[in-house]
Homo-oligomer: A and B are copies of this chain.
Amino acid sequence: MTKTTIAKWDVFEAAFNGPSSGNPFIDVDFEAVFSQKSRTVRVPGFYDGEGIYKVRFMPDNEGEWHYATRSSATELDGHSGVFAAGPAQPDVHGPVHVANRFHFAYADGTPYLAFGTTCYAWTHQPLDLQAQTLDTLKQARFNKLRMGVFPKDYPFNINEPLHDVYERDAEGELDFDRPNPESFRHFENQVKALGALGIEADIIIFHPYDRWGYCDMSAEQDFRYVAYLTARLAAYRNVWWSLANEYDFLLDTKPMAQWDRYFQIIEENDPYHHLKSIHNGDVNANYDHRRPWVSHVCIQNWDVKRTQEWREAYGKPVVNDEPEYEGNIMLSWGNISAQELVHRYWITLLRGGYAGHGETFMHPQDILWWAKGGTLQGEAWQRIGFLRDLLEQDAKEGLTPIGREANWPWSRVSGATDGDVTYIYLGEHQPVIWAPGLPVEAGDYDVDIIDTWEMTVTPAKIVDAPANHPTRHGAMLRPRRPDAAFAVELPGKPHLAIRVRPRR
């Protein structure tokens, strides 16, 4: 018999027949232990309906893996097998983890710069629209997608979902003790489709915009739901766990301690330690992101010049997934201009965080990208792609803000370094000459002016740095900034950036 071979970081799946009577979702414990020599990895299995039980495993190391099942049901207990893990597929770098404290990298060490977008309920739309969404994502340069497991009830979102997430009983009521495997199979196929495009699936487990009753499940039902979801999906390398969109609007049915428990259940069931976060609604309702189960800070906040503050408060990567969306709807989180969103991206990135994209343009059929996907109507996404391409050219450790401690001028303009490369984003500032943050040591540098809107990169004209003015008498002198070795001339218009690279 030929031994199955699975590429490293792909999904190995084994299926077994087991009991279908009673409620297999609740009644049957089923798991497997995967091993290489003395190393063992416990992996929960799940019931997939019609008497079929499955276990999925993502090998993170090449070579032969053995597994053995354990179950409260005798038919499922004591199965064993073996498979081989081969080299990773081309362009597959493994799951993303935190790297360099404030940044991310794939398992193989390749830097991952998060450039996400948002289609909350895209997997609940008609299939042709879902295909269009994937086509659009193929063209754009986003590498993360925020998406919910549950459908969405909200302005512009009044259609029925493609699938019920739970099965219906004889009376047609949702039975929150019986997940609907068809719904989950579809969801995980779309997670896989995103993976094939190199896009991380930032999976939103709970959200408050509901008319079906998903928000009102009991604590026990919630806990089982989180465990089931984790068992089904953790083996997909591009999974991120986002506990909620706007958890604070759910606190009446899901009190705070429950949120901590959701995190723990994921930790109990996800052997790969995928990224975990939780997203606030009110800007003053941030979860305590210092808690150990939170891998990175996921927030919404339009006030992006505060990015360093969040880095410092939590000591983790900051992903501001909703710095308001490009659009024109009445809701003020969804109607900023493309220019403004691009501006907020640059500010966020050059203050050491990551930003998220969304589009909320009025549409005759209510197909708004932020919830349903479809096509992109706006003008920000190209500029965000340009920014990603630009930063990836030199990505090394991630962007560290310049002058994090200093108040001036880095409270007003934004600057960061990544290794020996320096970026300065001037934003609403339009100097005709600039020196702060440029190299102190003379040397050979490639210095470029970047027009963040026109997406051009132009060699800068280098000029002498202006001399410091003599000491002000009587004034308390703040620490003198080191003089720059040179200055650059600029055209005196807003939304420009400067990049300095040592000539290589």
Which of A's residues lie within 8 Å of B, judged by CB?
153-155, 208-216, 248-253, 282-284, 302-303, 305, 324, 328-333, 335-337, 339-340, 362, 407-409, 411-413, 426, 428-436, 466, 469-470, 472-476, 487, 492-494
B429 touches A470 (CB 8 A): no
A215, A466, A472, most chain B CB atoms within 10 A: A472
Report how far A213 CA is from B473 CA in the complex, Å.
7
With A412-B324, A494-B340 already in contact, the answer to whether A476 and B330 are too (CB < 8 A) is no
In the complex the two chains form, is B487's CB within 8 Å of A330's CB? yes
Q: Known contacts being A215-B473, A428-B340, A494-B337, is A332 close to B407, with CB within 8 Å?
A: no
A492 engages B328 (CB within 8 Å): yes
A337-B428, A474-B216 given; A332·B413 CB < 8 A: yes
With A210-B473, A407-B282 as known contacts, state yes or no: A330 contacts B433, CB within 8 Å.
yes
Give the chain B neighbours of A435 by CB distance below 8 A.
Answer: 330
Residues of B within 8 A of A493 (CB): 337
> Is the pair A473, B335 in contact by a Cβ cutoff of 8 Å?
no
On whether the beta carbons of A429 and B332 are closer than 8 Å, the reply is: yes
Q: Which residue on chain B has the smallest CB distance to residue A474?
A: B215
From B253, B339, B434, B472, A474 is in contact (CB under 8 Å) with B253
Contacts of A429 in B (CB 8 A): 332, 335-337
4 closest cross-chain pairs (CB), A and B: A215-B474, A208-B475, A332-B409, A340-B428
Which residue from chain B places its CB closest to the CB of A305 in the assembled complex?
B303
In this complex, what residue of B is CB-closest to A331? B409
| Closest Cβ–Cβ distance, residue A321 to chain B (whole Å) | 16
Known: A212-B473, A362-B433. 12 other contacts (CB 8 A): A155-B469, A209-B472, A210-B472, A211-B470, A211-B472, A215-B472, A215-B475, A282-B408, A330-B434, A336-B494, A337-B494, A340-B428
A248-B336 Cα distance, complex, nearest whole Å: 37
Minimum CB–CB distance from A366 to chain B (whole Å) comes to 12
**Cβ distance A234 to chain B, nearest Cβ, rounded Å:** 26
Contacts of A335 on B, CB cut-off 8 Å? 426, 429-431
A302–B282 alpha-carbon span in the complex (Å): 24
Chain B neighbourhood of A282, CB < 8 A? 407-408
Distance between Cα atoms of A503 and B438 in the complex (Å): 58
Shortest C-beta distance, A491 to chain B (Å), equals 10
Show 19 residue pairs from A and B whose CB-CB distance is below 8 angstroms, ordered by the A residue.
A153-B473, A155-B466, A155-B469, A208-B476, A213-B473, A214-B474, A215-B472, A216-B474, A248-B476, A282-B407, A282-B408, A302-B411, A328-B492, A329-B431, A330-B431, A330-B434, A332-B413, A335-B426, A362-B432
A226 CB to closest chain B CB (Å) equals: 16
How far is A215 from B324 in the complex, measured between Cα atoms in Å?
A: 47
A330 CB contact (under 8 Å) in B283, B331, B466: B466
A408 to B249 CA separation, bound complex (whole angstroms): 14
Given A303-B305, A340-B494, A432-B362, A332 and B408 contact (CB-CB distance below 8 Å):
yes
Q: In the bound complex, what is the Cα–Cα distance between A429 and B328 (angstroms)?
A: 8
A216 vs B476: C-alpha distance in the bound complex, in angstroms?
A: 12
List of B residues within 8 angstroms of A470 by Cβ: 153, 211
Per the bound structure, the CA–CA distance linking A335 and B433 in Å amounts to 10
Write the chain B residue with the least CB distance to A209.
B472
